[in-house]
Structure 1
Amino acid sequence: MPKNTPYSLPKDSKAWQQAVDSIASLLPKDTHLQDFDTLQSLPVFALIVVLPTDMPTLDIHHYVQSWVDEQPNWHLVTVAEDTQARFVEVAIDDTDTTQAIARPPFVLAQVYRYLLVPVTDTLMHPAKTTAAAHIIDDQLTTRLRHDLSESYNLATDNNTQTDSVELIDCHILSVGHMLRTHKLACFDMDSTLIEQEVIVELAKVAGVGEQVEAITEAAMRGEIDFDESFVQRVALLQGLSTDVLDDICTRLTLSTGARATISALKALGYHTVLVSGGFTYFAQYIAEQLGIDEVHANHLDIEDGEVTGHIQLPIVNGSKKAAIVAHTAERLGLAMSQVVCVGDGANDLLMMADADLGVAYRAKPIVQARADAAINITGLEGVLYALGYPAFVPA
């Protein structure tokens, strides 16, 4: 059980809705402000900028506004903090016995939230949404990262150019994502909820670590079929004693922010699911550590105390993950517009595409490019920021 509840997160905030209300005159006539499907089809975007608090003080609003000032077709609205919002206490257990060194529960961050909206009806057509998103991403995000990188290096007297991607996460999302009520959150496990790839840890013990790691990386980059890679990797584990399984469990480390994220989502009323291409033996252990509601993963075939190297069908691959998410939503009576999926590998892309919001966590480039939002500079709590929530605050 959690030992403390040191942080809070705003609940039922109306800040995004108030921002949308403020630009009603710029929307097409007869647009219903509660019709989230229509709003999501329009080129009206939520811009969310996230920086760690240990960076030097930078005027983020200045950089954003200066870009908008050069774009006569765009209007910027700052999403104000909702001082009337209720707060939920987020219980975080800092005494993680699976980790030898105590770490903070998440990365303390600054979160800036804006609306970007076209100023004319001619630019408001739904057909322009994708093109507008690409323009904003190419121009504003690239410039923002460049300007922040230069300012950071000057402020810190850093003579070595800092990688700007490490300084900032920029999410450019439909405003519909911010207004919807999401209720189902599905997470990959390996390199998402935990820092390791379990099958690689098994392979190290079996003495085939390099071979399995190479196959795993190729699969996560989408270079080889997941099913084929899974069969190859499991076959290499043949003869591994089950005595090592519990020891591997104790060596697994939760990703920074995993406890905070799951705790916050549960407090906000989400049903949480771990859906993994790994093995149930480890997935159930991690789910118990985090308080996740249900688990879907592959069965590890064991006979006479040893891993057989055989697989049991069906393999939890990308298609199966997407089917599990869809079936879970249907069972709970939820629409896919209420679903959030988080992952890092190519086999997560289908479930992320089917969800209303697909979030890439410190993911491979192919996954970041196709996700709705990509988290690189915070822990897993960045999922909450991509959902439109402001930063955690002291309770």
Structure 2
Amino acid sequence: MPENTPYSLPKDSKAWQQAVDSIASLLPEDISLHDFDALQSLPVFALIVVLPAKVPALDIHHYVQSWVDEQPSWHLVTVAEDAEASFVDVDVATNGSTGTQQPFTPAQVFRYLLVPVTDTLMHPGKKTAAAHIIDDQLTTRLRHDLAKNYANAQATDHPENAALVHDNLVDCHILSIGHMLRTHKLACFDMDSTLIEQEVIVELAKTAGVGAEVEAITEAAMRGEIDFDESFVKRVALLEGISTSVLDEICARLTLSTGAHTTITALKALGYHTVLVSGGFSYFANYIAKQLGIDEVHANHLDIEDGQVTGHIQLPIVNGAKKAAIAQHTAEHLNIEMSQVVCVGDGANDLPMMAIADLGVAYNAKPIVQARADAAVNVTGLEGVLYALGYPALVASKS
């Protein structure tokens, strides 16, 4: 894909609102279709299906509709593309110092409303449980159907690839319609394995010759098996003696996640305040934030004396609770509600900030994180966050 390619993302699309307006007869008469809080009390879900462009979509509408037909309590409405939408141009030039990753993964995005056949209210807890059940059932069905047809297509057109069928052929996001209708203003991102492909502390450990030990601790922490603070202290202690001369070398070999530049550029063009909030180190976080044009950085200080990492920590540690506090404090500073906040991460220490945000998105995350997030992105790059926010697939600009 060439550098400096302009791509576009619809701005302020009314497609979701138009879809809601179209189902007025299925909703309680006293519900305002423009009252987002009132709509939150209804079991009306946005259903977003994302496929990589390389996967034959075949008749995805048929697959979704066939599942809905087996659920007598639900009605399916297709969200039409908004031909009248204005567009935000996204300049996705790659940055030489961060490699030559694709600016994003070409994808197909299908958007629907799932509406109960009978008008009813639903407790938020029950609604969340219903969303997870639908997500599990529909994702399982679509993965099965798509994998079967993808395998058949590969066997016919590319027999050498017939066995290369993966489970992650589709992302299904089942979200409250309120997530689609609200205007979000703040996006907080984890860094390691989210904005970048590496875990910086693991890269430091490799340099110090303690890579295996640190990676084992990191994986346990990301799975939520040990306390983050405890794991952080143990890992940093193993870094004692690393020369500062290698820090820039590590920065130079860090690679942005596919879609990171596109996502941040698009969000900023849409008026978001962007924040990098990391349990890693500010030395690297500031470097990555500069590459991406992120507005604000919060991370741990890497303690250095006489040109070497001391292995000591400086409090407070940016752990899960601190990440949540940073997200909340930033929202207060911007004078916005938490209902206007989106948080993205991959590890257990990202869950607290994701839990208090309106939309928590897991990116290539551990199972425990995917299970508790509002949406999980697996089949695209980080731009899958834009799709979870309700935007259609990125398209080439006509200009």
TM-score by length of 2: 0.95
Summarize deviations over 1:27-58 as a string: whole Å, max 9, x none: 11210111111212211000000001111241
Q: Distance in 2 between matches of 1:290 and 1:346?
A: 24
Q: Residues 135 and 279 from structure 1, CA distance in 2 versus in 1: closer, same or farther, beyond 3 angstroms?
A: closer
1:185 to 178, 184, 187: 187
Q: Distance in 2 between matches of 1:309 and 1:95?
A: 32
Q: Confirm or deny: 8 A CA contact 2:244 2:309 kept in the other structure.
A: yes
Q: Distance in 1 between matches of 2:305 and 2:130?
A: 56
The one-letter code sitting in structure 2 at the alignment partner of 1:69 is D
Q: Distance in 2 between matches of 1:185 and 1:311?
A: 28
Q: Distance in 1 between matches of 2:285 and 2:291?
A: 10
1:15 aligns with 2:15: yes
User: Match for residue 158 of structure 2?
Assistant: none
User: Match for residue 39 of structure 2?
Assistant: 39
Q: Distance in 2 between matches of 1:310 and 1:134?
A: 42
The one-letter code sitting in structure 1 at the alignment partner of 2:122 is H
User: Match for residue 163 of structure 2?
Assistant: 160
Q: Distance in 2 between matches of 1:93 and 1:134?
A: 37
User: Match for residue 88 of structure 1?
Assistant: 88
Summarize deviations over 1:299-348 as a string: whole Å, max 9, x none: 00000101111000000000000000000000000100000000000000
Q: Distance in 1 between matches of 2:333 and 2:297?
A: 15
User: Match for residue 56 of structure 1?
Assistant: 56
User: Match for residue 262 of structure 2?
Assistant: 260
User: Match for residue 125 of structure 1?
Assistant: 122
User: Match for residue 286 of structure 1?
Assistant: 288
Paired residues in the alignment total 390
| SS across alignment from 1:277 | strand
Q: Report 1:206-217 matches (<5 A).
A: 206-217=208-219
Question: How high is the sequence identity, in percent, across the aligned residues?
Answer: 79
Q: Distance in 1 between matches of 2:57 and 2:132?
A: 29
1:140 aligns with 2:119: no
User: Match for residue 359 of structure 1?
Assistant: 361
Any runs of at least 4 consecutive aligned residues in structure 1 with deviations exceeding 4 A, and if so which? none
Q: Report 1:223-242 matches (<5 A).
A: 223-242=225-244
Q: Distance in 2 between matches of 1:27 and 1:386?
A: 24
Q: Distance in 1 between matches of 2:109 and 2:17?
A: 18
Q: Following TM superposition, by how much is the alpha carbon of 1:125 offset from its aligned partner in structure 2, in angstroms?
A: 3.4
Q: Confirm or deny: 8 A CA contact 1:118 1:124 kept in the other structure.
A: no
Q: Distance in 2 between matches of 1:171 and 1:125?
A: 19
TM-score by length of 1: 0.96
CA RMSD of aligned residues (A): 1.4
Q: Distance in 2 between matches of 1:270 and 1:80?
A: 25
Summarize deviations over 1:3-42 as a string: whole Å, max 9, x none: 7351010001000000000011111121011111121221
Moved more, 143-152 or 225-234: 143-152
Summarize deviations over 1:135-158 as a string: whole Å, max 9, x none: 312322211111111111111116
Q: Distance in 2 between matches of 1:68 and 1:188?
A: 36
Q: Confirm or deny: 8 A CA contact 1:203 1:209 kept in the other structure.
A: yes
Q: Following TM superposition, by how much is the alpha carbon of 1:124 offset from its aligned partner in structure 2, in angstroms?
A: 4.1
Q: Confirm or deny: 8 A CA contact 1:56 1:156 kept in the other structure.
A: no
Q: Confirm or deny: 8 A CA contact 2:95 2:291 kept in the other structure.
A: no
| SS across alignment from 2:98 | coil
User: Match for residue 111 of structure 1?
Assistant: 109
Q: Following TM superposition, by how much is the alpha carbon of 1:70 offset from its aligned partner in structure 2, in angstroms?
A: 2.0
